[in-house]
Structure 1
Amino acid sequence: MPERRAEIVVVDDDRSVLKAMSRQISLMGHRPVVFDDPRQGVCHVREGNGDCLLLDLQMPDASGLDVQDMLSGLPVPIVFVSGFATIPATVQAMQNGAVTFLEKPVEYAELELAIETALKKGADLRANPDDQSAADELLASLTERQKDVFRILVTGVTNKEIAQELGIGERTVKAHRHAIMERLEADSIADIYRLAARLGLN
């Protein structure tokens, strides 16, 4: 837990959710700042506020993905929270750098872990902006299928498990792993894990 009270910005059009999230965040020892208007939340973060952003996916004025795009490049980690997440939206959010995706209703322990992970990633982003930019560029160099393999690979599973997860052959997974190692300029799987850590993916 950080020494100072971290500012956790919550953006959700449902005021009952804002109230519940605010209470949980306060119990964790952090300071909640809530917005039911996504554009107000964007302005607040762009002014240099917030250590972490809890963001609803579906809102009437601007979607969570829209907000994520508006804040692109800022060192504020985003945790998506939604009761109606689709697989394409979840994939897009994660590919754009989201820390994780939580389903409503969110359990206290689950939320606390997500916030702690996001705060650590935010600290790393602010401490090593050049390293983060380089890591982002390397990840962006992968094809979409290679990104899929990479995200599963860094969880420590086998080629066979990756193949089963993605519905592809084990030989294809090996080919993707070889290409990933080359594109990410990695000499070993340890290099891959270190890169994933910089990206907040493990």
Structure 2
Amino acid sequence: MESESELIYVIDDDRRVREALAALLRANGRDVHAFNSGKEFLDTPRQGVVACMILDLRMPDMSGLEVQKLVSRDSIPVIFITGRGDVPSTVLAMKGGAVDFLTKPLDEDALMRAVDAAFARAQVLRKEAEDAAMLDALYQSLTPREQELLPLISSGLLNKQAAAVLGITEYTVQVHRGHIMRKMRADSFATLVRQASKLQLETSSTTRFDA
């Protein structure tokens, strides 16, 4: 039985295709919400579930590629479907992160393999988003001074060097460093460096220190 928290959005302006796809997916144990246009989908409040999208390439008013671009930040993997092959569009779709590009009439096995791949990607994207949100929350728990210090020490500056850059004592840097390690839940300095890299922290380009 499939997880109830997984949802497939089907977007196709052809009612017959849309209904046939929805029926096929439901017969395979999937939860489906169908829409007749990209606008209808975008105007509908999104549910907080792991989702993927089966998206028609050519639709009036808003093409599938346009919809893909608008949902690219929502961590919703896209499977494109089209009535005819189109190499340039296929290239654009895949560059945009599409999981697959299927031509109508759809092969059921190929479609379900694509759906499985899309949900696998969706799970990874959701985990990455959750981890990023948690890391940002840890970073936001730092004081402004600790946020200033983190990129300095993670870039390899010694305590005395970071102290000179900030105009504070080396002992103060040591104290702040301990607080940063604790608040960031870093079990080692290497972990802290990786966290700072993921946060894309950078020291000011005008800051220099010669040892």
Aligned to 1:52: 52
Checking the alignment, whether the CA contact within 8 Å between 2:57 and 2:63 is kept in structure 1 is: yes
How far apart are the structure 2 equivalents of 1:61 and 1:131?
37
Shift of 1:128: 1.4
CA distance in 2, matches of 1:118, 1:80: 11
Q: Which residue type is aligned with residue 77 of structure 2?
A: P
SS of 1:53 mapped into structure 2: strand
| Identity of matched residues, % | 36
* Residue aligning to 1:76: 76
Q: CA deviation at 1:6?
A: 2.3
Number of aligned residues: 132
Q: Output the aligned Cα RMSD.
A: 2.2
8 A contact 1:46–1:71 mirrored in 2: no
Q: Alpha-carbon deviation of 1:2?
A: 3.7
SS at match of 1:67: helix
Partner Cα separation in structure 1 for residue 101 and residue 45 of structure 2: 20
Query: Which amino acid is 1:83 matched to?
Result: G
The equivalent residue for 1:6 is 6
Mark the CA change 1:50 to 1:128 in structure 2 (over 3 Å): closer, same or farther.
closer
* 1:113 aligned onto 2:109: no
CA distance in 2, matches of 1:94, 1:45: 26
Per-residue deviation at 1:70? 1.0
Report the more deviating stretch, 119-128 or 5-14.
Answer: 5-14
Structure 2 Cα separation of the partners of residues 19 and 129 of structure 1: 32
Q: Secondary structure at the match of 2:122?
A: helix
- Note the C-alpha offset of 1:110: 1.0
Where do 1:9-158 residues align within 5 Å?
9-44=9-44, 46=46, 48=48, 51-129=51-129
Q: Kindly tell me: are residues 131 and 79 of structure 1, through their superposed partners in 2, closer, same or farther at Cα, counting changes over 3 Å?
A: farther
> Matched residues in 2 for 1:29 and 1:5: separation?
12
User: After superposition, what is the alpha-carbon deviation per residue over 1:24-65, rounded to whole angstroms, capped at 9, x for unaligned?
Assistant: 110110111111121111233756566110000000110000
Change (3 A) 1:48 1:4: closer
Distance 2:60 2:50 in 1: 23
- CA separation in 1, counterparts of 2:6 and 2:46? 17
Cα distance 1:105–1:45, how it changes in 2: closer, same or farther (>3 A)? farther
Whether the aligned pair in 2 keeps the contact of 1:54 and 1:80 (CA below 8 Å) is: yes
Distance verdict in 2 for CA 1:24–1:77, change over 3 Å? same
Structure 1 gaps, min length 5: 133-202
Change (3 A) 1:50 1:123: closer
Change in CA separation of 1:109 and 1:42 when aligned onto 2, cut-off 3 Å: same
After the TM superposition, which parts of structure 1 deviate over 6 Å for at least 4 consecutive aligned residues?
Answer: none
- Cα 1:62/1:31, change in 2 over 3 Å: same
